[in-house]
A and B are shown apart, each in its own frame.
Chain A
Amino acid sequence: MKAMTEVNSVGSARKSFDPIFERGLKFVAILVMSLLILIIFFLYQLAAPAIHEYGWGFMFKSDWNPAKLIFGAYPFIHGTLITSLFALALSVPVSIGTALFLTEIASRQVAAVIGFLVELLAAIPSVVYGLWGLTVLAPRVRVTVQPWLSEHLSFIPGFSGMPYGVGVFSASIVLAIMITPTITSIAREVFRAVPHAQREAALAIGATHSEMIWLSVVRVSWSGVFGAVVLGLGRALGETMAVTMLIGNRNEVANSLFSPAQTMASLIANEYPEATNPLHIGALAYIGLILFGISFIVQGLARRIVNRVANPSGGGA
């Protein structure tokens, strides 16, 4: 009996620490959440002059002239979307191909090495990508790639115009490299989640290796791969440093993939340090808010899709 009470008293002494611990955890969780809310609030306050001046129409106006205090976000929304989507077009086939190679073809050792190297691409700082793009990529794009493309592919809209080197084209290539590890590693998880039994089902009815990959792996992975792609898009939309260095910084709607342009992120990075007028600052903050909104929706969508694929118990394949 005596032993029992001792055990109990020790137990209750330890238990009494629980509420403090739990409260501490609750505190940090709330802290993170309120940070998000505070940032939105701060951004909104900063953007207020521009929001009151222009309203929703801000997003569809094409003029941006800080000297005359005329502001419209359309060229930058356009620039952001066009660079991100072109980057996706370049990156998606490579990423999905790599992910399939890693899960279906490479031996475990090879997959480990290549998978690691692909993920290392994500560890290269954005500014280093920018530097590489500016000194190595852009000159070659200007001298070789763009003249060739405008000679042979000019029938495709966007593949023509003056070869500047810097611009949508070069920025998109660097963006594509930067989002490849994201898409590859998530697509790889999606393919890995396909049960082994599905692969055997295909092999047992006499599917070749490539038929098996199609029947059992790719065909059932659409939604997960889509999630991976959207997550890559989310990364591309907000990427700032490398794009700022390579986009060419022209505040106009890009009429070709070769022309210099400006993204929402690069505009803010370029102009905020010198913006003094509250309306100018407000317009930049408003753009920040729009970018935030787009990223928020895209990332949220992607997370939902990817989570549903990773835990199929929530319904869906």
Chain B
Amino acid sequence: MKPIVEAKNLNAYFENFHAVKNVSLAVPEKSLVALIGPSGCGKSTFLRCLNRMHEEIPKARVEGEVLLGGSSIYDRKLDPVAVRRSIGMVFQKPNPFPGMSIFENVVVGLKLTGSRDRMDQVAEEALKGAALWEEVKDKLKKPGTSLSGGQQQRLCIARALAMKPPVLLMDEPTSALDPISTAKVEELMISLKKSVTLIVVTHNMQQAARVSDRTAFFLMGELVEYDESSTLFTVPKDAKTEQYITGRFG
């Protein structure tokens, strides 16, 4: 299958710290790739290179190449803002905009791009896509922050989906949620990959095994192993991967 996102010899730095070391990784379209590894292994940094969020940190820089649908997102002529509009991102902690209603939170990105047509319809689709519509359809004017943590996270997913991105990045999207909310978000991830390509950083290996098609194991900034999840979690090729997934470190 043709990859939709492809990192080639990607290196990421924080000032002098080399956080991601020469990683090459191809993500097939409409699949879910999980990035796992111990804290500080570079998986989140790698993720943040895929929508050019990494460079927002002072003195951080990126070398190498990331292709989205075959064209480079690090092209000099390209504005990072445009890249982020076509690659959604969901964060560890739900971060709806305070002081904005549920509806406003969903359509805030559309307003930025100036596409104000059919906002009601787009908002409904996005909320349905995030499996939140039934819970909030009668209170769209309530503040987004009035929702529970799990609902807020799905609201953030809806906010990203409203931009109709081909790729959605998730940085430990369930680590701040209770088990029931986590299960809902996991279910949502599985249903979303029919229409969107998902790249998900997770600390939770069971989660990676449950939801992902492919898994990438990072260690000390390097990509140790990248394979079908069914293979990686049962017959890992690398000894370090085996040690990690059997819980011997990390």
Residues on A close to B: CB < 8 A?
107-108, 195, 197-198, 200-208, 211, 215-216, 219-220, 317
Contact = CB atoms under 8 A, between A and B. Distances in A.
B91 A220 contact: no
B58 interface: yes
B163 A219 contact: no
A317 B97 CA distance: 11
A195 B81 contact: no
A107 to B, nearest CB: 6
Given A206-B109, A207-B112, A215 B91 contact: no
Given A220-B98, A317-B98, A204 B160 contact: yes
A201 B91 contact: yes
Contact of A207 (B58, B81, B98): B81
Nearest to A108: B58
A27 B156 CA distance: 54
B56 interface: yes
A203 B112 contact: no
A200 B99 CA distance: 17
A195 B92 CA distance: 13
Contact of A205 (B58, B98, B99, B108): B108
A35 to B, nearest CB: 41
A177 to B, nearest CB: 31
Contacts, number: 63
Interface of A is mostly: helix
A192 B108 CA distance: 23
Contacts of B89: 200, 204
Contact of B91 (A204, A208, A211): A204
Determine the interface band of chain B, counting residues with CB < 8 A from chain A.
20 to 34
B93 interface: yes
A192 to B, nearest CB: 15
A201 B97 contact: yes
Most buried by B among A202, A206, A219, A317: A206
Given A107-B58, A197-B91, A204 B97 contact: no
Interface in B74-107: 81-82, 84-85, 88-89, 91, 93, 95-99
Most buried by B among A108, A205, A207, A211: A205
A211 B163 CA distance: 16
B229 interface: no
B58 A208 contact: no
Contacts of B82: 206
Contact of B95 (A107, A201, A207): A201
Given A197-B93, A204-B89, A204-B91, A219 B99 contact: yes
A220 B53 CA distance: 22
Nearest to B96: A201
Given A211-B112, A219-B99, A317-B99, A204 B93 contact: no
Most buried by B among A195, A197, A201, A220: A201
A236 B108 CA distance: 39
Most buried by A among B58, B82, B112, B160: B112
A63 B95 CA distance: 59
Contacts of A201: 91, 95-97, 156, 159
A305 to B, nearest CB: 16
A315 to B, nearest CB: 13
B113 interface: yes
Closest A-B pairs by Cβ, 8 of them? A206-B85, A205-B109, A204-B89, A201-B95, A197-B95, A206-B84, A208-B81, A206-B81
Nearest to B86: A206
B160 A205 contact: yes
Contacts of A107: 58
A220 B99 contact: yes
B31 interface: no
